[in-house]
Every structure is written in structure tokens, then in C-alpha cells.
Amino acid sequence: MKTFAVFFCGQTIGALLGRDSDLESHHDAHANMTSTRSNDLGNLALSLATTSNLTGLSALLFDTLLKSSNSSLNADIAEQLQPVVTAVNDTLEPIVVQSQLQAQQSISGFTALFLHCEELAAAAFNKSIVDQMVVSDRRLDHATCRNQESALFNEKATCKTMVSAAQTVQAYKCNLYEATNTIQSSACFPTGGEDAEAFHARKLESFETNLADLLQKQSNCNQSTVSLASLLEHCSAKSTSLLQTRSTCDINQHILDSSICNLRKQMESDCTQSQTCQQQALASYQLANSSAKMEEASLKEQWQQLQVIRCMISALGQRHASTDAYSCRNETYSVDHLSVSYVGFPPFSPCQQMAETAGSSEYMQVLYGSLPRNVQAQSCRSQCCIDTAANASTTGSTG
């Protein structure tokens, strides 16, 4: 296209220039030819402008200005180029400005996209905090329950000691009663020549004393037996309460472990969603950023071409010398208004993840290592712990 433009322009200017020695009688013919070919140049320039062939249009005007020395011809050409000026003013420059605005909007829009990712992360974090508070409450409930279990375990141990002591006392008192509750055969005979009255008086006194002692020993045996039975009942209730409390604590632990499993699963899901959003936003930003930079460079180049075109048309209109062609090309034109302001991507919020693997020894130590020594937490029976154990088993067998 440039070759055609140069040839056409050269042919046009060649027909119009170097004819100063022609006869005056041909002046009207030359004027008509000049007008016709100026129209052709104007039409060609407008065609190049409307098709956004700025390189071809710039080359055409450069050659026209470079090869023109007839000021009246330049004025005529400039007049024919006014539609091009109109196209530059009303269409081409506004398109460049609008394209810059679109590029800027495209880049600026990533602020909202980055913010959206941060809002997702913040919402997940807030929900995680609520879930963690629930886990914390359940952990406290479990710890309180285990402390009750510990106290009952101590009470049961105390009961065992007390029952053993009570059994010893009861056996001693009842054995003593059994030993006293016998009649010796030798007690029924007089001694030392006693008469009947003395014998009966002595035996009556002995019987009364022995009966009182026997009844006291019987009472002591009965009381110790009742006390032992009451203590056994009390300790049996403590044992039952211990078993019930331990069962409740085991249920609380399972609920706690399951809550932690669900929290871990939710945190992993939220983390994946957040990272996916961040990665997609970053990839899109990098692509748009690269595209916008190329667009910015192209728009600035187009703007400079348009200013060169405007300058050369102006030079033709002002009947300047052909040296203005180089001046227009070498002039520095401001393109600062076409610069795109690039947003930097923010430091994304890190994902929250649980440090300990569910069901691992570290997990059990962190969660249940501070429990009283006389109680023991169960192995984690929640699904994520079962899955962890299965994966570990599979990995171990594979290794």
C-alpha cells in the first residue's frame, strides 16, 4: 500500500510540479488537472483514514509534503484533506481515547476481583472462627466431663479402701459376737462347796453380765453389718456413676472429634476455594496486564501517528516548505494522557489449616494430653481419623 501511495503521490506531484515553464495558454488545463488529482489524493487519504491505515496515510502525506513546492497546490491539497482532519478529530482520536479508557477499566476492574477473593477468604475465616468457638466449647465440655470422671474414679478408689476397712471391722465384731454367743458346759456346776443360794446368786450375776455383753456384741455386729451394706450401696452407686460419666465423656469426645473433623474438612474446602479464586484472579490479571501494556503501546503509537498526520495536513494548509515533513515526523508528541495506571495485586490472605493430622499421636497429645492421669481418652473414632489411619496403613504397606 505504501508503494502505491508513493507512486500515486509522486505521479500526482510530478504532474503538478516542474511545469512552471509551460505556456500560459495551458494554465486552465493544468488547473483542472490539479483539481482532479487533488480530489483523488483526498479520496485516497480519506480511504486510508477510514480503514485506520495510519501508516499508509502518514506515508502518503509525507511523500506529498516532501515533493510539494507549489504553495497554491498545497493549499488545494489541504482543502481536499479536510475530511481526513474531520475523521481524525471526530473518529480516530476518540477511538484511541476510548480504547485507553477501556484498557484502564479492564485493569481497574481487577481491584474488585481481588476484593472478591478477599471477601470469600474473610467470610470463610469468620465462619471458621464461629466453628472454632463451637469446638472450643465442646473441648471445654469434654474436659469438664473428664474431670468429673477423674473425681469419681478417686471416689471409687476411696470407696474400695473404706469397704475393705469396714469389712474387716464387721468381720471382727461379728466374729467376736459369734465367739461370745456360746455356753460353756462347766459353768453349770457349783464351786468350792457353794450352797444352792450362793450358787444361784453367783450364776444370776454372771448370766446378767454375760447377757449384757452378748447383746452389746450383737448390736455392734449388727451396726457394722448395716454400715457395711450402706457403704457397699454407696460405692456401687459411685461405680455406676463412674461408668455412666465415662460413657458420657466418650460421647462428648466423639462429638468433639467429629466437630474437629468437620472443621478441618470445611477449612480445607474454604482454602481450596480461596486459592482457586486467587490463582484465577492472578492468572487473569497477568493476562490482562500484558494485553493492556501492548494495547497501551499501540494506542500511544497510533496517537503519535495521528499527530504527525495532523501536523503534515496543517503544514500543507499553511503552505509550508517540504522540510516540514521531517519536522512533523521528528516532533515529540505527548501521550501521557494515554498511560494506563496498573493496579498491583494485593498480598492475599493466607489459608487457615490445622497443624495436626486428625487421630495422630500429635493430635491426641495436643487435645487430650492435659487430662488427669487417672482418665484416658478414647482413640478417635470419627471418619477423618479412620481415613487417616487407613491412608497411613496403605502408605506403610506400599513403602
46: three-class secondary structure by DSSP: helix
Domain residue spans of the chain: 109-287+347-398
- Which grid cell sits at 306? 495521528
The mean of the pLDDT values for the chain is 83
The pLDDT value recorded for residue 209 is 82
Domain 109-287+347-398 has CATH 1.10.287: yes
Which amino acid type is present at position 28?
D
The pLDDT value recorded for residue 94 is 95
Distance CA 46, CA 58 (A): 12
Give the range among 154-158, 365-369, 390-394 with minimum mean pLDDT: 390-394
Mean pLDDT along residues 175-198: 76
Task: Indicate the burial class of 32 (C-beta count within 10 angstroms; 0-12, 13-18, 19 or more).
Answer: exposed
The pLDDT tens digits of the residues spanning 58-99 come to 999 988 887 776 566 667 788 888 999 999 999 999 999 999
On the question of pLDDT at 399 being above 70, the answer is no
- Which grid cell sits at 377? 481418652
The pLDDT value recorded for residue 204 is 84
Share of the chain above pLDDT 90, in %: 45
The pLDDT value recorded for residue 44 is 93
306 CB-near residues (< 8 Å, 6+ apart): 54, 88, 92, 93, 96
The pLDDT value recorded for residue 205 is 82
Cβ atoms of 45 and 61 closer than 8 Å: yes
Which of residues 33 and 364 earns the better pLDDT score?
364
User: pLDDT band for position 361 (50/70/90)?
Assistant: confident
Mean pLDDT along residues 334-341: 94
On the question of pLDDT at 273 being above 50, the answer is yes
- Which grid cell sits at 3? 508503494
Mean pLDDT along residues 369-395: 84
Alpha-helical regions (H) of the chain = 2-16, 27-50, 54-67, 71-80, 82-87, 93-180, 196-317, 324-330, 361-368, 383-398
